[in-house]
Structure 1
Amino acid sequence: MSRIGKSIQDLIIGEKLSITEKIEDKDILLYLGLTNDNNPLYIQHDFASKTEYEKPIVPTIMLTGIVTSAISKYLPGPGSHVYRQEITFPVPAYHYSLITFTFVITDINVHKNEVSIEVEDRNEEKETVLQGKFLVAPPTLQP
């Protein structure tokens, strides 16, 4: 049987998770290939150099994917489901950025089997590149 994540009873308010990811070109190219997204702002240095960003940026949905993947893998973990998200991207993330993703459980509703997780992602300069709140249903197995 596959490993299952933490149930609602195993989680506590204030519980934290921190992971660090380096955003490599290969990851961006894989994402762009899967989504058929050919926005030159994401991959073309000559195009991006003429924009306000000055160099290619990481697609925001890719950052969101890293967040939801961490929720699925670690907190609450396998079997959990993100069903609501509110996200802002205050500054862009750039290729080769080293981003620290910090997750904190801020609320638990046992009756709804619902956990609120606040997420903040910061680059090497400590700038916030993603800030959000996610409502998650922790894993449950039918008897």
Structure 2
Amino acid sequence: MTRFLNQIAVGDSDEFRKTLTETDVVLFAGLSGDNNPMHIDEEFASQTPFAGRIAHGMLTASLISTVIGTKLPGPGCIYMGQNLRFVKPVRIGDTVTARVTVLEVLLDKQRVKLLTECWVKGEVVLTGDALVWVPDQK
């Protein structure tokens, strides 16, 4: 459902939840070309401070795009910018909750500033903010 600019208010929030699988990580590596052994080689990754493979940070961040493009603001919006900070690693098998919350509605520019976060087991693993253009109801 498309949410037009006049239907969005500060504090509005929505989320998407997904358990990241081995298949997700392998497909993302193939699609992106990011074959860093931290993501695809258990033997290598087990010798690092992470003590095992971790999911790509951008795979985790892509779940934010799911919320923005399908829920809040939803279909018809255009992603204009994103700041990210990766706080904790995400592992294969973790269930990630991507959440966006409206921080500011810029009516004159048809934009919305969003707090963007990903959570695993009640802890923030990724945080940032996004700027999104939102269609206005004519």
TM over 0.5: yes
Share of identical aligned residues, percent? 25
Match of 1:137 among 113, 127, 133: 133
Show the counterpart of 2:53. 56
Show the counterpart of 1:47. 44
Instruction: Name the Cα RMSD after superposition.
Output: 1.5
| Deviation per residue, 1:35-83 (Å, 9 max, x gap) | 1221110011111100011111111111121111220111111111111
Report the TM-score, using the length of structure 1 for normalisation.
0.90
Q: Distance in 2 between matches of 1:97 and 1:128?
A: 13
Runs of 4+ that moved beyond 2 A: none
| Deviation per residue, 1:6-51 (Å, 9 max, x gap) | 1111111111112221011111111111112211100111111000
Structure 1 stretches of 5 or more lacking a match? none
Report the TM-score, using the length of structure 2 for normalisation.
0.93
Which AA in structure 2 matches 1:99?
A: V
Which AA in structure 2 matches 1:36?
A: G
Aligned positions of 1:79-90 closer than 5 A: 79-90=76-87
Contact 2:102 2:113 in 1 (8 A): yes
SS of equivalent residue, structure 1 residue 111: helix
Contact 1:79 1:140 in 2 (8 A): no
Match of 1:106 among 98, 103, 106: 103
Number of positions where the alignment pairs a residue of Structure 1 with one of Structure 2: 138
Contact 2:16 2:63 in 1 (8 A): no
Q: Distance in 2 between matches of 1:83 and 1:36?
A: 24
Q: Distance in 1 between matches of 2:53 and 2:105?
A: 39
SS of equivalent residue, structure 1 residue 37: coil
| Deviation per residue, 1:72-108 (Å, 9 max, x gap) | 1111111111111111011111111011222111100
Show the counterpart of 2:90. 93
Distance 1:87 1:128, change over 3 A: same
Structure 2 stretches of 5 or more lacking a match? none
1:72 aligns with 2:64: no
